[in-house]
Each structure stands twice: as structure tokens, then as C-alpha cells.
Amino acid sequence: MSKKYSRKDFLRTGSLAAAGLLLGACGNDPVERKEVVVKETPFDTLATSDPVEENFDVDIMEKEGNKRYEGFRLGFNKRFDKYPLAIALPKTTAEVAEAVRYARHHNYPIAIRSGGHSMEGFSSNDDGLMINLSDMDSVEFLEDNKIKVGPGCTLSNLYDHILPKGRIIPAGSCGSVGVGGLTTGGGYGLFSREFGLTCDHLIEATMVDGNGKIISSKDDAELLWALRGGGSGNFGIVTEMVFRSHEAPPNMISHHFKARKLDPDRATAILEKWMFHTQNLPHSCFSAYVLNGGTLNILITNFAGEDNEGVESFIEGLKGETDEYKKGERLELAKKLKNYYGSKIPLNFRNSSAGFYKDFDHISGCIGTVLKSIIDNKGMIFQVNTLGGKVKDPLFANDSCFPHREYDFISEIQAYWTEDYKEMGLHQVTHDCLELLKANNINAQYFNYCSVEFADWQTAYYGKNYEQLREIKRRYDKDNFIRHPQSIEL
Ligand SMILES: Cc1cc2nc3c(=O)[nH]c(=O)nc-3n(C[C@H](O)[C@H](O)[C@H](O)COP(=O)(O)OP(=O)(O)OC[C@H]3O[C@@H](n4cnc5c(N)ncnc54)[C@H](O)[C@@H]3O)c2cc1C
């Protein structure tokens, strides 16, 4: 089953995956369809091969001869080194529309970049225009504690603005992730079990579609449904997002467990116990099982005022299994969250979704072998995180295209290297583990941890909603100007 991987194979995999078979069945239509009102912009119908020389006011950095170009080209993952023919740096929705007009004028495919954290480098390309939204990073409070956020706003910037005002939007934990990509792909983290996903809090969006037209989700409820978890680089460029917010908890506590020199049997036995005990955690808690080579770290965060019985029984249950337990400090929320912001500087890494899981039985057929691969290969990390709670809310399920709400766990397989010669070996380990999981019917995957290895990515990311997403693609980007190797197909 193990395939030997060459660098060429990896370069090819993207196009193979993009050409993969469509397995999705027609989904139910969860929202009432309305007549879509499309606002006209000065760039109404645009020819793809307009012979007239045009002027574009939006800041465009062409690949050749622009010293600033390089500074906007690279993303967070050093694995990707793409050279778009031009990079647009818009400051307003109208300028984004103009950037689309520029792309259409030159017949350039469009890649969209907000925070630049795509796990497969989907926010850049080599043959077209990158629309870099990093200057569109404003945070504005509206009435009723709604918050309008620019897509280029990073999570740390968002929290710097809203936590001092006592408000929170549930999101991920990495400070440099962009709100644009996080939300359009789902968005889970320390607050999801209590409040839901980031995309569940998106109540209005402005988008420039593939024709350069400015669309408001107020005119198309189905578009909002699609942008909640299915809008990453698919239909248009989201330029403004309005979120519901919650009262921010004042502080947070954490608990840490460590076990060293694990063999696969012990790593598996602890994972089973961890999965069992997380069932009793209150929704104010998040927990992660993080196996890094032979060393295991388990984390619980809790933003409730006090640890309840569920937390106590978790601690008692895991203490006996691990080598070390430490209670973390209870800190003011803004300060505590900074502990989880992660690296600010770009890294060499690969991080792929390794499936949504229901419980231990769901993975018992293969998890021991997966964990053995992690233990045997330095640089590999296998992480399982808690979901459940409010993520399962049927109202959220109805109002968004995110299809994986029944699962209590989401996992990721990560590889980190500093020396180039280690890269291919770690890709091979990742590949073998993903194949093994697939062979054991682990099929649901998270777009925000995308992998070009998922040949059936359409179903893996979007389940039965894929066909409906294709209709929306046809509505807003019928010429497929906005695309990446796993964007919704026409
Ligand atoms: C270190 C790290 C930690 C992470 N932690 C978490 C976590 O805790 N929880 C979680 O849920 N995810 C997490 N992620 C995954 C993260 O949510 C995704 O990688 C997300 O896509 C990043 O968004 P971005 O804007 O930074 O990336 P980008 O690379 O800019 O974009 C990612 C994708 O979104 C699309 N896109 C970006 N902006 C827009 C827009 N304005 N309109 C339409 N499409 C757009 C792009 O086409 C691309 O496909 C993490 C990723 C990393 C690298």
C-alpha cells in the first residue's frame, strides 16, 4: 500500500486531486432561495480579452521590476514558493473589484490571500494575480455588539481590538491566521464547544464575485450559507464580514499532562482514555492530545469561573496514565490566549486534516499503526482536538454548509523540518498515515487543513452539500477566474 514518493509526485498530486471524481450526492436545499440582486459596479460586463489598454487605480505590483512585490509574495508556510504574475494590494471593496477587472483584462486566474496560512499554498499561484487583502484588516464595532472585520485582519489583531471591550468571537488559536480564510473554511478553537464555529457567527458578508461585481449576502441567503465554511477561494473575494459576538469570559485556566518515551500501545491506550474522559468536560473546555514523536502533551483550557466535576474526573483519570501533571495559571483572557498564538515567523511544515472522529471505536482499527509512525519518525506530530457542544447545534447546521458537525473530534497530522533533506521522508510518513486512515473509513476532512492528497476532496470537505456549492459557483464565477487546486468546480 505504501507508495514511494518523489518530489515530482508531490508536484503532480495537486492536479490529480483537482481532477478527482465527483462523489458528492445532491444535497438538500437548507435555505430558501431569493432572487439575487447584483449591484452594478463601474465594471459591469468585462471582456476577458479586452484589447484596449486600461488604467487601474488599485495598487498592482507586477512580478518584474517591482521592489515591493517580494514582500507580499510569501505566506506563512515556507514549503510554497510561488510567483504570481502580479499582486494586487487593494484597500477597499471597490479596489478589489478593480483588481478582478485587472485579472479579467489580462486573463489571469485569481488567488485570494488574507492571512497567508493555507496548508497547501492555495492563496497564491504562478500564473495569475494574487489579491492580497492584508491592508483590509479593520475592526469596527456596530450596534448590538456586532463587529465588522476586514478579511486581512489576523486573529491577534482581532482579539487586541475586541477583548479590551469585553467581547469575543470564537475562532482558532494561532495569532497570525487571517479571519478571511479561517471563517470561509469553518474556524474552530478554544471557544467552539461553548459558542460554535467562527463561520456560525458570520451574519453578513460583502463579496466581489468573479465578474468584479459587488454582492451583499443580504441579497442572497444561500450565499451566506455557502460562505459559512464553503467559501475559501471559490465564488469571490470576501471583503467585509459582520460577526455576532459574545461577552468575553474574564479569564482562563489550563491543565497540562505529559508522558514521555511512549510506545504505540501506551500512546493508543492514553488516547482511548483521553477520548473517554473528554465526554465529561463542560463546553467551556477545549482539550488536545498532541503526540510529538514519543512525547505526549495533553492540554485542557477552561474559561468557566471554576473547574467542575467533569474537569476533576478528567484530571484524576489522566493523572494515573501520564508521567506529569501541572495546573496552569488562571490568567486574564487576553494574556492567556497569547500563550497559544504560535510562531510569528514562517516555518517549513506540512499540516493535513487526518479526519473527523466520532469516538475511539471509529479509529481503533488503525490508530495504533498511525501512532507508531509518529513515534518512529522525528518531526511528526499527531494531534486530536475536541469538537462537539455547540458545534452540533442543528440551527447552525441548517444555516451553514459546514457538514461535519456530528463528530466530537478533529485531528491533524503535522510534519516539521529545518533541513531540506528530511522533507520527502516526512511527506511519505504523512501519505502512508492518510492512506491508512482512509482504508479504515476515515473520510470526513476539514478544508482549513486541506491536503492535495485527498482525491475525493469534494465529498471529504463538503459532504452532500457539494452539488449546491457548485450551483453557487456557477452563479458568481461562471468563468472560473477564482480558483485553486481544490476550488469548487463548475
Ligand atoms: C499555524 C496554524 C494554526 C492554525 N490554527 C487553526 C485553528 O486553531 N483553528 C482552525 O480552524 N484553523 C486553524 N488553522 C487553519 C487555518 O484556519 C487555515 O489555514 C485558513 O485557511 C487560513 O486562513 P488565512 O486567511 O490565514 O489563509 P490564506 O492562505 O490567505 O487563505 C486560505 C484559503 O482561504 C481562501 N481565502 C482567503 N481569504 C479569502 C477571502 N477574503 N475570500 C474568499 N476566500 C478567501 C484562499 O483562497 C485560500 O484557499 C491554522 C493554520 C496554521 C498554519
Are 149 and 266 contained in the same domain?
Answer: no
Are 186 and 291 contained in the same domain?
Answer: no
DSSP output for 73-136:
H--SBTT-----SEEE--SSHHHHHHHHHHHHHHT--EEEESS---TT-TT--SSSEEEE-TT-
The pLDDT of residue 211 is: 97
Measured distance CA(287)–CA(311) in Å, rounded:
11
* Closest to 460 (Cα-Cα) out of 434, 433, 432: 434
Are 137 and 152 contacting, i.e. CB atoms less than 8 angstroms apart? yes
Amino acid, single-letter form, for residue 392: K
Is the CB of 461 within 6 Å of ligand 1? no
Are 371 and 263 contained in the same domain?
Answer: yes
Using the mean position of ligand 1's atoms as its centre, give its distance from the Cα of residue 245 in Å: 20
The pLDDT of residue 307 is: 76
In this structure, which residue's CA is closest to atom 8 in ligand 1?
Answer: 172
Q: Considering all CA atoms of the chain, what is the largest pairwise distance in Å, rounded to the nearest integer?
A: 74
Q: Report residue 158 as a C-alpha cell.
A: 482581532
Atom of ligand 1 nearest to the CA of 173: 8
Using the mean position of ligand 1's atoms as its centre, give its distance from the Cα of residue 45 in Å: 31
Domain of 391? 251-463
Using the mean position of ligand 1's atoms as its centre, give its distance from the Cα of residue 344 in Å: 15
Mean pLDDT of the region 303-321: 92
Residue at 331 is within a domain: yes
Using the mean position of ligand 1's atoms as its centre, give its distance from the Cα of residue 113 in Å: 9
Are 265 and 332 contained in the same domain?
Answer: yes
163-186 pLDDT per residue, tens: 999 999 999 999 999 999 999 999
Query: Among 12-21, 117-126, 254-263, 414-423, which is the least confidently predicted range?
Result: 12-21
Helix axis angle for 221-230 and 466-476, nearest 10°, is 120
Atom of ligand 1 nearest to the CA of 448: 18
DSSP class of residue 296?
E
Atom of ligand 1 nearest to the CA of 349: 53
Pairing relationship of beta strands 251-259 and 295-302 according to DSSP bridges? antiparallel
In this structure, which residue's CA is closest to atom 26 in ligand 1?
Answer: 115
Query: Among 3-12, 310-319, 413-422, which is the least confidently predicted range?
Result: 3-12
φ/ψ region of 402 (left if φ > 0, alpha if ψ in -120 to 50, else beta) reads: beta
157 band by pLDDT with thresholds 50, 70 and 90: very high
Is the CB of 172 within 6 Å of ligand 1? yes
Are 171 and 276 contained in the same domain?
Answer: no
What is the separation of C-alpha 217 from the centre of its chain, rounded to a whole number of angstroms?
A: 21
The pLDDT of residue 184 is: 98
Are 481 and 103 contacting, i.e. CB atoms less than 8 angstroms apart? yes
DSSP output for 38-75:
-B--SS-S--TT--S-----S-EEESTT-TTHHHHH--
Is the CB of 314 within 6 Å of ligand 1? no
Phi, psi of 415 (to 5 degrees): -135, 135
Instruction: Dump strand ranges (E) for 169-250.
Output: 202-209, 214-216, 236-243, 246-247
Residue at 16 is within a domain: no
Measured distance CA(101)–CA(473) in Å, rounded:
18
Are 104 and 156 contained in the same domain?
Answer: no
Using the mean position of ligand 1's atoms as its centre, give its distance from the Cα of residue 449 in Å: 8
Is the CB of 171 within 6 Å of ligand 1? no
Are 303 and 227 contained in the same domain?
Answer: no
DSSP class of residue 198?
S
Is the CB of 229 within 6 Å of ligand 1? no
Q: Which residue has the cell 466535576?
A: 309
Are 92 and 149 contained in the same domain?
Answer: no
Measured distance CA(374)–CA(433) in Å, rounded:
9
Q: Which residues, 6+ apart, have CB-to-CB distance to 321 below 8 Å?
A: 259, 269, 270, 273
Measured distance CA(336)–CA(177) in Å, rounded:
18
**In the predicted structure, residue 46 carries a pLDDT above the cut 50:** no
Percent of the chain beyond pLDDT 90?
87
Residue at 183 is within a domain: yes
Is the CB of 180 within 6 Å of ligand 1? yes
The pLDDT of residue 421 is: 96
Atom of ligand 1 nearest to the CA of 446: 11
Query: Among 1-10, 215-224, 260-269, which is the least confidently predicted range?
Result: 1-10
Residue at 276 is within a domain: yes
In this structure, which residue's CA is closest to atom 9 in ligand 1?
Answer: 172
Is the CB of 113 within 6 Å of ligand 1? yes
Measured distance CA(38)–CA(401) in Å, rounded:
22
In this structure, which residue's CA is closest to atom 51 in ligand 1?
Answer: 117
* Closest to 287 (Cα-Cα) out of 295, 72, 276: 276
29 band by pLDDT with thresholds 50, 70 and 90: very low
Q: Report residue 396 as a C-alpha cell.
A: 447552525
- Is this prediction's pTM over 0.85? yes
Are 115 and 197 contained in the same domain?
Answer: no
The pLDDT of residue 19 is: 23
Q: What is the CATH number of the domain that holds 437?
A: 3.40.462.20
Phi, psi of 150 (to 5 degrees): -80, 145
Residue at 88 is within a domain: yes
Q: Which residues, 6+ apart, have CB-to-CB distance to 44 below 8 Å?
A: 213
Q: What is the CATH number of the domain that holds 177?
A: 3.30.465.10
Percent of the chain beyond pLDDT 70?
89
Are 203 and 346 contained in the same domain?
Answer: no
Q: Report residue 258 as a C-alpha cell.
A: 505529559
Are 290 and 299 contacting, i.e. CB atoms less than 8 angstroms apart? yes
The count of domains in the chain is 3
Q: How far apart are the first and last CA of the chain?
A: 33
The dihedral sign for the CA sequence 464, 468, 474, 476 = negative
9 band by pLDDT with thresholds 50, 70 and 90: very low
Amino acid, single-letter form, for residue 395: L
Measured distance CA(388)–CA(289) in Å, rounded:
16
Is the CB of 448 within 6 Å of ligand 1? yes
Are 89 and 152 contained in the same domain?
Answer: no
Are 115 and 232 contained in the same domain?
Answer: no
The pLDDT of residue 53 is: 57
Q: Which residues, 6+ apart, have CB-to-CB distance to 353 below 8 Å?
A: 410, 411, 412, 445, 446, 447, 448, 449, 450, 451, 454
Mean pLDDT of the region 222-245: 98
Using the mean position of ligand 1's atoms as its centre, give its distance from the Cα of residue 198 in Å: 12
Using the mean position of ligand 1's atoms as its centre, give its distance from the Cα of residue 43 in Å: 29
The pLDDT of residue 10 is: 34
In this structure, which residue's CA is closest to atom 2 in ligand 1?
Answer: 174
Is the CB of 123 within 6 Å of ligand 1? yes
